[in-house]
Structure formats: structure tokens, C-alpha cells
Amino acid sequence: MAKEVKFSLVFRDMWQAAGKYVPRVDQLVKVAPAIIKMGCFDRVETNGGGFEQVNLLFGENPNNAVRQWTKPFHEAGIQTHMLDRALNGLRMSPVPADVRKLFYKVKHAQGTDITRIFCGLNDSRNVIPSIKYAKEAGMIAQASLCITSSPIHTVDYYVDLAKKFIEAGCDEICLKDMAGIGRPVFLGELTRRIKEIKDITIQYHSHAGPGFNMASILEVCKAGCDYVDVGMEPLSWGTGHADVIAVREMLKDAGFKVKDINMSAYMEVRTLIQEMMDDFLGYYIPARNRQMNSLLIGPGLPGGMMGSLMTDLETNLESINKWKEKNGKPKMTQDELLIKLFDEGKYVWPMMGYPCLVTPFSQYVKNMALMNVMQMEKGKERWSMIADDIWDMMLGKSGKLPGDLAPELIEKAKEQGREFHTEDPQSNYPDALDTFREEMQREGWDFGKDDEELFELAMHPQQYRAMKSGKAKADFEADLAERKAKKLNAGGGSMTFPQTVVVEVKGEKYSVTIGANDGKSAPAVASSAAPASVGSGEGNELTSPLEGKFYLVKGNGDTPVKVGDTVKKGQTICYVEAMKTFNAIASEWDGVITEICLTSGSSVAEDDVLMKIKA
């Protein structure tokens, strides 16, 4: 009898591999019946990872979205699965154990069947607790092997890791080939050897960009793979995934049993996806992400990250060229920046200990490479600015690096008095739910069904608060308005800058300036309730070294500095969040803070004044 291979539509990852955002809940609910009518899917990826965060970023509550989005698939007998970052839960940074335990209870109650647990360091100490928590909550625990290609990531390396997960009680194994750079024969051999350990369900996930994945799909299926992740037009191929039509035809020709596709429903879903892109999502999908690119084999950057990378790169290019113009140097093109980034990524990756290039560590390696490029283009040294999150990874605070850290980075850590960690990573992040319960009670916020609102605050504190206040919605509307205006101008229309538009959020109107100073420096929201300046004084101007969001503190328990505080040179006094990491900003002088020029969460451009310090 022919072996059956089943398909999973990675609807969440389709969007995030293409651009920055995912559809609104009304769009998700509209497309679900048509996906079901296609008749070829046994599973659909509905949420997890960045899905939760991007909903918050444009002002939607992801708890409502997940419940509505999973419901029709359950009713049709289709399993839903999500992406789960183990120690990091659904975010970029580590999560306390009590929040991780609540995470699985909430997601199971909301209707998610399977959690795909992964750690970018492939540290079993991070994954195994999540296997336990997920199973206790009633979920199917799918443990991932994060696939990459390096001298230390051998078949034996991955087989040993699979054994640990199987012994820990995982229900399934995922070969998470997030950059699509796993070599086909290598993956086939790995699949075969895992099946020899135990006839466990294996699901293969891959991105199309580098060009290997159709061959890889065929090889893993020949070796016994049970489920294959697929995409569909107009979001298949490119930095996304192979299209279900092509995968089905290839496997059918190879003798596998595969389900038929209702092509009328396929075209309906295709049309709905295009409508979502035309509505607003297309403004966050760079054209280059729709192309295959074998240059991705070298740096190994994952498809899911490439979605936001190309959008963010526009800002980085502006920053570099702003400096070059100021210093009389020729401007750089985006192609030149991209190649420099790829080359620097290949250089720093082994030096940083070969972390698997998957969230958040792919961002850390990419951010480090990009920061090096930006600093060196401005005449500064490589490694001259390293974010705290990146240090935490290199020092072992998030888990054990697969490889060795370069001697020059070890020496740099010692010079800065940084400590290396060998303990269980979870021990660095104490329980925190009680603190968040107190905040919910203090603010008078509803804990939500199954404590889902408590969970959301605890998992994404900054984004949740911005969503509750309406600021997230206003920021998003302002950014979208600016993108639409720029597209209108590029297409021959006319709109002068700056423009002030009125955005209404929860019945409250905000005046929003778009295109101020070429759209580079104005905070996205200005209102009487959020003054631009805190304190007023004289002194040296501490400026931002990069563009991003300004925050006084990084963690919930940190104490912010205030006007009148005495600070020391080298003391961290604020942060700029950029490229999904918090970059510590240190005082450049001994002195007293006389002015804090921005409120937390405000947008900043490079060289914007953050504080004034009187020496």
C-alpha cells in the first residue's frame, strides 16, 4: 500500500515569510471556510511566534483572533498548530517558568492542538520542560530539530538530539528547515535514522528561497516523513514555501498517496489573499521577497525573518546614507547593503558560536552583522556596539552555544566584566505572574477567559500596554498612512510632506504627523496625554546611535532613571529597541540628568536627542 503524506498549510508563516504583518481577525475568519473547502489539508498553522506580537502591534487582541481563527478548523476536523520558542515562549526574550506553564493552558483552551517547540540553540534544557508543560495542558508536543548547515551540525548531532526529545516524551518530531538550506540527501538520511529509533510522526518544514526544498521534500518523504508544510499562491515560493499544487503533483508521481485539491476553492483562497494584500498587507511585503535567491545559502537567514528584514533594511539604508551625505561620501544602494550584510553574516556566525539561524538567534546574528556593517561604514570598529540580548546569547544565559565563541569576543566580555553562564537557563528568569496580577488589578483590567489576558500581559508587557492604551493602533495607522502616501507619490500622485492626519482609536482622536523630516524622526503619535519632553535643562546631548523605539527600562522590575539623577560614564540609562532587540544606551559623561527628551515607546531616529546630562 502506498504511504500517505499529509499537508499542513502554514498560513501564519506564509505571511511572515513575505512581510511584516499577518491578516486581521475579520480577514482570517473570512478565508478559513475556503481553506477548508480546498479539502487537501489535515493541518493548518494558525498562530504562535510573531503572530501574537504583530496582532498587538496593529492594535488587535490576539486572544480573540486565535479563538475565532481556530474554531472553524476544529469543526471541520482539521488540526491546528502553532510555533513556540521554548524558553522564549512567544517572544524574543526568555520567559519565567510560571508564564510558560500558563502559556500552554491558554493556547489549548483557545483551540490550538499542536505546539511546535524549538530552541535556536538546540539546547534540550530549553525544549524538554516545554514538552512536559504542553502535554500536561493537553496539547500535542512536537519537538523541533532546528536545521542548519555547518561543520558541527551533522546527522549524528541531530539524531542524538532527537533521541533526547523522544526519551522526554515528545509526541512528534519536526525537521524545522527554517532557512531552506538543509541539503536533501542529508535530510533524507536524518529522517530515516529517526524512524529507526521510533516510528514517530515526523513533519517537515522548509522555505523555498535558496532552492533546495522541493528536492528535500521528496527525500524526506521517501525516508518516511508523514506531514509536509506547504504554502500557496500568491505567497508561495520566494522567501516563503513550496506551493501545495507542485508538492502534491511531485509526490503523486513518486507513488505517494496524497489528497486531491479543490481547485475552485484554491482560486477562492488565492483571491482572498490578494485582497488582503491590496487592503494593507502588501504595503509591508517587499517585492524582493517574492523571488528565489540562492545567495541565501551562504548566510542561511530564515524565510520567516526575511519577511521583516527587507522592510527594516529600508530604514537602515536611510540611516547609513544620512551619515554618508553629512560626511560627503557617496550613497549606498540597497543591493550593496544587502551583499555587505550577507558577507558579514557569514563572517560573524561561526565567531558567535554557530547558533541555529532561527528566531531569536537569527535576528541576533543578523543584527550583529548589520550593526557591524553600519558602524564600519561610519568609520567605527567591528563589535563596537553589541546589544544586551546578543551578549546574553553569547554568554550562555539563554542556553549552550552549539560551537565555541571566538577568542576576541571572550576577551571583550572579560574586559567589560561580563560573566559566562553554565547553569540551567530557566534559573535566570524567576516566576513573575504575581507581579503581573498586581498590575492587572491596579489597572482594573479583566483577566480574561482562562486567564488569557493575564498571559498576554506577562508574555508581551510593552506591546500589551500599548495595545490597551490605543497607542499601538495609532502608531500602526500612522505608519500605514505614510506608506500609502509614499506609494501614491511614487505612482505619479501628489501629496506634500509633512501631512497631519487624524487617527481614531477607541473613540479617541489622535493627531498624527506623517512624513515629518522625510518621515524619519517624528514620533508616530503625539497627543496632549503624552508630552514629548520630561523635564527641561541644559547639558551635553545624549543622542541615539540608531533608529527605533525609546524605552527607559528593558524589564518590568527595572527602575528607570529620572531628571535629577546622578549618573556615571558608561552607566546604562535607557534603551533603543531596534530590529527586535533592546540596545543599551550608556551615558557618555559623569553628571546629572537635566532632561529626558522622549516618553517610553516613542519613535526615534538616529542622532535624535534622548537626554541631556550636565557634567
Q: Does domain 6-288 have CATH number 3.20.20.70?
A: yes
Q: How far apart are CA 416 and CA 412, in angstroms?
A: 6
- Predicted confidence at residue 430, as pLDDT, reads 94
Taking only the tens place, the pLDDT of each residue in 445-488 is 999 999 999 999 999 998 899 899 888 888 888 888 888 888 77
- Predicted confidence at residue 379, as pLDDT, reads 81
pLDDT tier at 519, thresholds 50, 70, 90 = very low
From the list 217, 222, 220, the residue with the least C-alpha distance to 231 is 217
From the list 179, 143, 178, 184, the residue with the least C-alpha distance to 161 is 143
Q: Does domain 540-614 have CATH number 2.40.50.100?
A: yes
Query: SS3 of 438, please?
Result: helix
**pLDDT > 70? residue 373:** yes
Please measure the distance between the N-terminal and C-terminal CA atoms of the chain and give it in whole angstroms.
80
Domain ranges of the chain: 6-288, 294-427, 470-530, 540-614
Taking only the tens place, the pLDDT of each residue in 537-563 is 789 999 888 778 899 988 766 789 999
- Predicted confidence at residue 523, as pLDDT, reads 37
pLDDT tier at 504, thresholds 50, 70, 90 = low
Query: SS3 of 582, please?
Result: strand
Taking only the tens place, the pLDDT of each residue in 280-319 is 999 988 887 777 777 777 766 665 555 556 666 777 777 7
**pLDDT > 70? residue 496:** no
- Predicted confidence at residue 518, as pLDDT, reads 43
Taking only the tens place, the pLDDT of each residue in 429-445 is 999 999 999 999 999 99
From the list 135, 127, 136, 194, the residue with the least C-alpha distance to 160 is 194
pLDDT tier at 492, thresholds 50, 70, 90 = low
Q: In Å, how far from its chain's centre is CA 192?
A: 31
- Predicted confidence at residue 579, as pLDDT, reads 67
C-alpha cell at 426: 530557566
Do 591 and 615 contact (CB within 8 A), yes or no?
yes
pLDDT tier at 580, thresholds 50, 70, 90 = low
Taking only the tens place, the pLDDT of each residue in 379-403 is 888 998 888 889 999 999 999 999 9
Mean pLDDT lowest among 106-115, 154-163, 472-481:
472-481
Which position has the grid cell 488569557? 452
Sign of CA dihedral 391, 378, 367, 365: negative
Phi-psi region of 18 (alpha: psi -120 to 50; beta: other; left: phi over 0): alpha
Q: Which residues contact 208 (CB under 8 A, 6 or more apart)?
A: 180, 214, 231, 236, 237, 238, 239, 240, 241, 242, 292, 303
Do 200 and 173 contact (CB within 8 A), yes or no?
yes
Helix, strand, coil percentages, rounded to 5, for the chain = 45, 15, 35
Q: What is the mean pLDDT of residues 480-509?
A: 63
Q: How far apart are CA 439 and CA 434, in angstroms?
A: 9
Mean pLDDT lowest among 184-193, 230-239, 491-500:
491-500
Do 525 and 511 contact (CB within 8 A), yes or no?
no
- Predicted confidence at residue 289, as pLDDT, reads 76
**pLDDT > 90? residue 33:** yes
- Predicted confidence at residue 305, as pLDDT, reads 56
Taking only the tens place, the pLDDT of each residue in 409-432 is 999 999 989 999 999 999 999 999
